[in-house]
């Protein structure tokens, strides 16, 4: 594989419509594969309009090689000293190559440059039982330094999502010190 460049995706409505569609497609395919049984049939994780809004706000970073987008992550400030990443997704053919880890590192470094001291993420899990893909993600997040700090009900934070769930779920909120 050629060298990989990670950067914030600039917003230019006419120039990056193709990028918005590609990033949206990557996120929806990855989440459908890893969370498919947790959502009602036909539900998609995001839309290109939502992704365009995140991009307009300067929240979407992409990994590219030879101009092709291989993965993405949403990164934003959520508090006085806390940043958050989410929508971490790597295109099917490039999973397991370290791109996800590089996207997380990029998000952490961006937040450190903005003088934030903590990084947070939310992992959606079943309320009862477990989910194989979620166990793999939880272990991976813990290996790269994230620790669960609390559980949070999804319905209070995202009532719209509650209607799209196939089974009851909750968030495990993870944090990592960036100092």
pLDDT for the residue 169 = 78
pLDDT for the residue 98 = 94
> Structural domain of residue 82, as residue ranges?
5-177
With residue 149 as reference, give the H or E element that holds it: strand 147-153
Q: Is the dihedral of CA 40, 41, 42, 45 positive or negative?
A: positive
From the list 41, 44, 49, 58, the residue with the least C-alpha distance to 21 is: 49
Name the more confident of 40 and 172. 172
CATH number, domain of 58, equals: 3.40.630.30
Contact yes or no for 78/44 (Cβ under 8 A):
no
**pLDDT tens, position by position, 96-148:** 999 999 999 999 999 999 999 999 999 988 878 788 888 999 999 999 999 99
The confidence band for 162, taking pLDDT boundaries of 50, 70 and 90, is confident
pLDDT for the residue 144 = 96
CA distances from residue 69 to 125, 137, 177 in whole angstroms, order as listed = 28, 22, 29
Phi/psi of residue 29, nearest 5 degrees: -65, -45
CA distance 64 to 71: 7
Q: How many domains are there within the chain?
A: 1
Name the more confident of 52 and 161. 52
State whether residue 84 is helix, strand or coil.
Answer: strand
Give the CA angle between residues 4, 70, 173 to the nearest 5°: 100
Which residues lie below 8 Å from residue 149, measured CB to CB, with a gap of 6+?
Answer: 173, 174, 175
- 172 pLDDT exceeds 70? yes
**pLDDT tens, position by position, 23-75:** 999 999 998 888 777 777 878 888 988 998 999 999 999 999 998 999 999 99
The confidence band for 167, taking pLDDT boundaries of 50, 70 and 90, is confident
């Amino acid at each position: 594989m050629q060298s990989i460049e990670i950067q914030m995706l600039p917003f230019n409505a006419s120039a990056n419509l193709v990028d918005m569609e590609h990033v949206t497609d990557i996120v929806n395919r990855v989440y459908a594969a890893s969370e498919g049984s947790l959502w009602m049939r036909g539900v998609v994780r995001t839309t290109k309009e939502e992704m365009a809004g995140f991009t307009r706000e300067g929240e979407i970073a992409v990994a590219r090689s030879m101009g092709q987008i291989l993965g993405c992550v949403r990164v934003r400030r959520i508090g006085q000293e806390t940043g958050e990443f989410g929508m971490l997704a790597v295109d099917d053919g490039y999973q397991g190559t370290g791109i996800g880890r590089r996207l997380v590192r990029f998000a952490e470094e961006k937040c450190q440059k903005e003088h934030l001291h903590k990084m947070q993420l939310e992992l959606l899990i079943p309320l009862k039982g477990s989910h194989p893909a979620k166990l793999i993600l939880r272990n991976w997040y813990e290996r790269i330094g994230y620790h669960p700090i609390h559980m949070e009900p999804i319905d209070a934070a995202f009532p719209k999502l509650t209607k799209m769930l196939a089974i009851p779920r909750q968030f495990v909120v993870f944090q990592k010190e960036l100092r």
